[in-house]
Structure 1
Amino acid sequence: MLRISFDGLSGHFEFLNATQVLEIINVIGKEEVKVGFWTIDAAFSKNIGKLNSFPNDGLESIIWPGGILDNPVRRMPQVSNRRLRIGIPLQYRSGALFQVEYDAQTSSTVVSGFCSEVFLAAFAGLDPSVVFQFIPFKPKAGVGTVKYNDLIDLVHAAEFDAAIGDITITANRSLYVDFTLPYTDLGLATLSRNADATSSLWIFMKPLSSDLWIVSACFFILLGFVIWILEHQMNDEFQGPMVQQIGATMWFAFSTLVYAHRQKLKSNLSRFVVTVWLFVVLVLVSSYTAALSSLLTVEQIQLASKGGSVGYQHDYPLHGVIVRNVNFLDTRLKSYHTIEELADALSKGSKKGGVDAVIEEIPYIKEFLAQYPFGYSVVVSEDVTNGFGFVFPKGSPLTLEISTQIARLREDGTLQNLQSKWFGQKPNPQSTPAPKILNFKGLRGLFLISGVSMAAAIFLFTLYYIHEKVHYTYAKLTGGRLASILRFLLPQSTIGVE
């Protein structure tokens, strides 16, 4: 304070260096109450010249705004009216996300559910003395007949102090009102009914892609051909009529799939090739089993190929998000108003006038699974929406304060506990992976190893075969015809000397 110096309307203002004492005044409304002094040497004291053992011991009690005697830890926004008018979308609504009921005895609207409890918990940490009056902005309106943008307009017109409910944060709405931090998960999720996977005739073919099936079959045939080359000359089980040789070779090759081959191999090169191939079969069979189990556990929907219909709830902004960001045709989208309608449409399927899947914001998906926990699965999700937030007029100080409280509720686990209370202990829809099929590109290294081993075995066999042929020919020429020719051309004495 001693460094303050400026020129005002009345002239130059500056604290003189001789100023060593400051008087502390507690302003209460229009009154001033002296609570003590501050000096450079004695710090705070009630009387000048009296030393204190601890700070503030010599000061009178300070009354803070709101009649609070305890020192506030942070500045609380002042609410001019202790009863806040809170706008809500509907007069009647059921579900774990947001419940609205009308109490005829008290002639008031009672709210409950996840959204309302988060709002009340956030405000309790801010100012627990505030009373709320929940007002449906369109009384007696049914689900699907109201537009949430109309509620936003009423908050913008200051007819409501705030608005709560399943209200999605959008860029267009943010131009007219302020939103708090989102208190729900972000994005859309795809929900489908668990189909009977065994009803598909070719379900066993789905874990592997077509190129992997073809390459695997070719390598089985190639293995039989290589083993026949290596074993044909020395192994009786690979000899005989041509039909028998082909049958024995193919049986040996494909029986390695279940490790049931019985033919005894006599060539070390054949054993080497089969050992490498059995490793490839082990990895291939294990991967196939895991992929098939995943496929049977979570039925993967293929809406693009089947041309099925997709359901969503009635909120208009969501319709545009699905068309723009999820790349679904507008003609395939069907709007529904309640969870019960969505469940009925999923049970029917597209062929019977229903839908094959539901694309909704994740909070709605959690609400659906809380009511229908069995028979449905979340297969994919995309972060293309901003979640739910509480609505306040532009410039309201409550927006920042409630956002801070939401962050605190998320950090201390209260928000997670509320989700578990209303939605149950369910996995996060964003963490549920869709099963993937195996393709040749992912396993091409295995086939490369097996192919190299077969090529190396054939190369070594060829070298050995050429060596044996050359040695046999040389020996035959040396001991047979070559000796007869030499006896005929050379004298007998010369041959005997040799």
Structure 2
Amino acid sequence: MAMVVWLFVALVITQSYTASLTSMLTVQQLQPATRNIETLKNSNAKVGHGKGSYVSTYLKDVLGFKSTNLKNFSSPQEYARALKSGEIAAIFLEVPFAKLFLAMYCKSFILAGPSYKIGGFGFVFPKGSPMLADINEALLKVAESGKLRELENSMTGTELCLDMESDHGNPSFSLNSFWILFILTGGTSTVALVFYVILGKWKFNHMLQLKMIWRLILAMLSKNYQLRPEHHVTMCPIGGVL
């Protein structure tokens, strides 16, 4: 019986692993719902941007979006909620914020369309400031040394992908996924082992009892044979007299 249970568990694990592997190999890649900005404008879709960002002005004055179709949001959680609920069709963010947002929601959203190089963040100094040359030199060194890339990776790499916790479409299997099966097989094997030991002990005791019974029978037969009276026969020659 234990062998049958182990074979059943092996079959279940094999089928589960095969299904999981097939799902991972055939999973569809994320595709943007909207391909370009013209589609958004022509469909009169609502789009979002960060609250207090210069992106709002750029969307209206340069890209030609209507003010009534622009919505501002304050946090990545609000971005995700609005996109998932369909409140907005897309959101425009500065590149650092966009990378941070995608690091947090790595399985639900994707970067689409071109990136626009526009003025944004910068340092402001008074005219003739003695710090200007030093700041320029420091920024150049940081850019050339790759320190900016390291800082960017450290910021986005430490963000936990929130989609990993709620990703039910492509589950992964581990030993914890089969703990019930392992408990079942372990319990069945233990019961089978206990049953085997008890049965073996019972057989041993039974054989011992049979041996004792046979020994007792043989002893009784031997004793009865020894107590049986002897028959004495006197031999005499033919024609003789006793």
Task: Identify the structure with bigger relative contact order (alpha carbons < 8 Å, sequence gap 6+).
Answer: 2
Q: TM-score, normalised by structure 2?
A: 0.47
More strand by share: 1
Structure with larger Rg: 2
Structure number with the higher helix fraction is: 2
Alignment TM-score, normalising by the size of structure 1: 0.24
